[in-house]
Amino acid sequence: MARTASIPRDPRAQRALRLACGTGLSLAAGFGLSLPLPFIAPMLAVFVLAAMNQPLPLKTAISLILALALATGSGLLLTPLLRYAPFSGVLLVGLGLFLCFRYGQRGGNPLLVTFMVIGLTMISAAGSAAFALGLLVVEALVKGLLVALLMIFISHLLFPEPASAAPAPPPPVNHDPLDTAWIALRGALVVLPAYLLALINPATYMPLIMQSVNLGQQACSIRARDAGRELLGSTLLGGLLAILLWSGLSVFPQLWMFFLWTLLFSLFVARRLYQLVATQRSPYFWMNSLTTMILLLGQSVQDSASGKDVYAAFAVRMGLFIAVTLYAWAAVHLIDLRRRQPPGSRVAI
C-alpha cells in the first residue's frame, strides 16, 4: 500500500483561537484581580500573541519584563525635566519617539518598540502630574504584563502551535536611511498630540495615549493612500464592536459573561487577522480594531463601576479617538507629500 504523504496542518486556526483565548483570559483576570488599569493586560496579550506564534521561553519572558521595566524607568527619569523644563522635556520625548520608531523600521523587535513608546509617554505624562501616579501606572503595566504572560502560557497549552508550522518571519527591514527617518517622523508626530493632552490631565487622557501608540505603529506600516480607510476605518470598527459588546454585556453583567463576549468578539477579529476569512484589510487594521474595542470597553466598565454616565463618557472618548485618528491621517498624508518632493522644492502645509 502506498504511504500517503502527511499534509502540513494549517496553523492559522490555532493562532486565531489562541489570540481570542489569551485576550479573553487576560481581560477576565485583569478585571477579576482589580488591577489598577485592567485593560492593559488584554492589550499586552494581543501585542505579544500577534507578534509571536511560538510559546515564550522563560528567558524571553524575563527579557520582556526587563524591557518593560527599563522603558518605564526611562519614563520616570523624564518626570523632573517635564516638571521644571517642560519644553525641553517634550522635545526629548519627541526625539525618543523618533528613535524608537526608527529602530522598529530597521528591523527592531516590535514588542520592544511598543514597550519603549508606552514607557516614554504614559509613565512620563503620569509622573509629571504626580510621582505617585507615575508609580501607579508602572505597577499597572508590570502587573498587566505578568498577567498577560501567564494567560498566554495557558493559551499555548490549550491551543499549541503545530509542530510542522513555520516560524514567524522576522520583521521587515527598511534599508533606506532617508525613508526610515521620514516614516519614524510621522510615527512620532502621530503620538505627540495625545501625549501633550495627557500632560494636561493624565488620568483623563491615558487611554488616548494607548490609542495614539497603536495609531503610531500602524502609521509606520501603511501607505499614505491607504491611511484613511486603515486608520479611521479600524477606529470606527473598534468603536462599533465596543458598542455591540456593551449591549450584550448589559443584558447579564457578570465577569464570566464579560469573558465570553470578549472571547467571541476577539475570535471574530482574529479570524480576519489571520486571513481565515478573506479580507483586503491589513493585520494592523484588525489589531487596531481589537485594541480600540478593548480600550473603549475597559474604560466604560470602569466608568460604570465608579457611577459615571457611561454613555456620555463613551461619546466623549470616542470623539477624542476619532479626532486623534483624523490627525494621524492628515499627518501621514502631509509627511508623505513632503517626502515625495524633490530636493529644493517646498510644499505648502
Per residue of the chain (349 residues), give pLDDT as tens.
444 445 557 788 899 999 999 999 999 999 999 888 888 999 999 988 988 888 878 887 888 888 888 777 778 888 888 888 888 888 998 898 898 888 888 877 788 888 888 888 888 888 888 888 888 888 888 899 899 999 999 999 999 887 766 666 666 666 677 778 888 888 888 888 888 888 888 777 778 888 888 877 776 666 656 666 778 888 899 999 999 999 998 888 888 999 999 999 999 999 999 988 888 888 888 988 999 999 999 888 888 877 787 888 888 888 888 888 888 888 777 777 776 665 555 444 4
On whether residue 348 sits in a domain, the answer given is no
On whether residue 61 sits in a domain, the answer given is yes
Single pTM value for the model = 0.86
Look at residues 274, 252, 227 and name the one whose alpha carbon lies nearest to residue 49.
274
On whether residue 6 sits in a domain, the answer given is no
Reading the block at residue 85, the C-alpha cell is 523644563
On whether residue 346 sits in a domain, the answer given is no
Look at residues 103, 264, 268, 107 and name the one whose alpha carbon lies nearest to residue 172.
107
Look at residues 290, 13, 29 and name the one whose alpha carbon lies nearest to residue 153.
29
Neighbouring residues of 129: CB distance < 8 A, sequence distance ≥ 6? 199, 201, 202, 203
On whether residue 116 sits in a domain, the answer given is yes
Domain enclosing residue 113, as ranges: 12-161+171-339
Q: Provide the pLDDT for residue 86.
A: 86
Packing angle, helices 233-251 and 255-273, rounded to 10: 150
On whether residue 259 sits in a domain, the answer given is yes
Neighbouring residues of 197: CB distance < 8 A, sequence distance ≥ 6? 205, 208
Rounded CA separation 148/128 (Å): 27
Neighbouring residues of 20: CB distance < 8 A, sequence distance ≥ 6? 263, 264, 266, 267, 270
The Cβ of residue 277 has, within 10 Å, a number of other Cβ atoms equal to 11
- Three-class DSSP category at 191: helix
Contact 322, 232 (CB under 8 A): yes
Q: Provide the pLDDT for residue 349.
A: 42
On whether residue 151 sits in a domain, the answer given is yes
On whether residue 112 sits in a domain, the answer given is yes
Look at residues 226, 238, 235 and name the one whose alpha carbon lies nearest to residue 332.
226
State whether the Cα torsion 62-66-71-76 is positive or negative: positive
User: Which DSSP state fits 342?
Assistant: P
| Number of structural domains in the chain | 1
- CA distances to 168, 232, 287 from 323, rounded to whole Å, are 35, 10, 19
